[in-house]
Amino acid sequence: MQVEPATVHQGSVHGPTAELVAGATITLMRAAGTNAPLPWEDELGRITATTDAAGRFTLMAPPAASGETHSLQVTADGYAALSADADTCTDALPCALAMDFETVAAAPTFNPPAGSYEGSVLVTLESTTVNATIRYTLHGTTPSATNGIEIANGTAMQINASATLKVIATKAGLNDSAVSEAAYVITAPAQTSGGGGGAFGWAWLAVLSVVGCFRRRRD
């Protein structure tokens, strides 16, 4: 089986006054079809690179699958996040990416996106604003700096029942983000027939449920 080589993405990042942006995070994003791009994650986590003191970066990316597109998301404290076509930043022709100063926190995104899920779903709420704080509600009201539940940026939350999430990002010195909204429909797990183990199997499931409940109360 032929193994395709990794793709090398190179470039530099500067700010609106041509200042070099050191310490910026370059994240490889991928999207299939018309879906919104999401961070590419492997067994080691997200595929990222960091700009050096001269604002330069090199990112090694797996080859894109058929029908898949790659982009580079750039984030840095004090700057608005930007996205660039990964194909415009190559080792043969490095790109020069220009960032603007940030005045408004970036609206949070949902991963996975809104939709119908069986049993439960683990949803990550994340703003590209570095060091932002997330506030969310589940009861229909609009979150604000004084309303909603506050969590750290990038927190994953378990949704066990159908709900509509409304989320904002806040950060001192910036205007609050626009409200992001996503509806999650949680359906009952599909029932399987046969092979249940009879009465013993149901009794064992009951024991597991009691143990799980006891552990949750102790935590």
Question: Does residue 132 share a domain with residue 81?
Answer: no
Flag whether 211 is in a domain: no
A 10 A CB-CB count for 98 gives 15
pLDDT at position 36 is 83
The per-residue pLDDT string of the chain (219 residues; one tens digit each, 9 = 90 and over) reads 455 678 999 999 999 999 999 999 999 999 987 778 999 988 889 999 999 999 999 999 998 888 889 999 999 999 999 999 999 999 999 999 999 999 999 999 999 999 999 999 999 999 999 999 999 999 889 999 889 999 999 999 999 999 999 999 999 999 999 999 999 999 998 876 655 544 444 443 333 343 343 333 444
Q: What is the pTM of this model?
A: 0.76
pLDDT at position 208: 34
Q: Print the domain residue range for 91.
A: 7-98
Q: Which residues contact 175 (CB under 8 A, 6 or more apart)?
A: 103, 104, 105
Same-domain check for residues 42 and 76: yes
Residue 164, judged by CB atoms within 10 A of its CB (0-12, 13-18, 19+), counts as middle
Say whether both 91 and 166 belong to one domain: no
Q: Cα–Cα distance between 95 and 8 in angstroms, integer?
A: 12
Whether residue 207 lies inside any domain: the answer is no
What is the predicted pLDDT for the residue at 198? 47
Please tell me the distance from the alpha carbon of residue 136 to that of residue 179, in angstroms, as a whole number: 9
Return left, alpha or beta for 173; rule: phi > 0 is left, psi -120 to 50 is alpha, else beta.
left
Q: What is the Cα Rg of the chain in Å?
A: 22
Which residues contact residue 195 at a Cβ distance below 8 angstroms, ignoring those fewer than 6 apart?
none
What's the domain count of the chain? 2
Look up tokens 């799980």; give the residue. 212
Q: Which pLDDT belongs to residue 3? A: 54
Pair 67, 73: CB distance under 8 Å: no
Same domain, 138 and 167: yes
Same domain membership, residue 67 and residue 129: no
- How does strand 115-118 pair with strand 180-187? parallel
Q: In terms of domains, do 22 and 94 share one?
A: yes
Residue 107 sits at the vertex; the CA angle it makes with 183 and 57, to the nearest 5 degrees, is: 125
Residues 87, 113, single domain; the answer is no
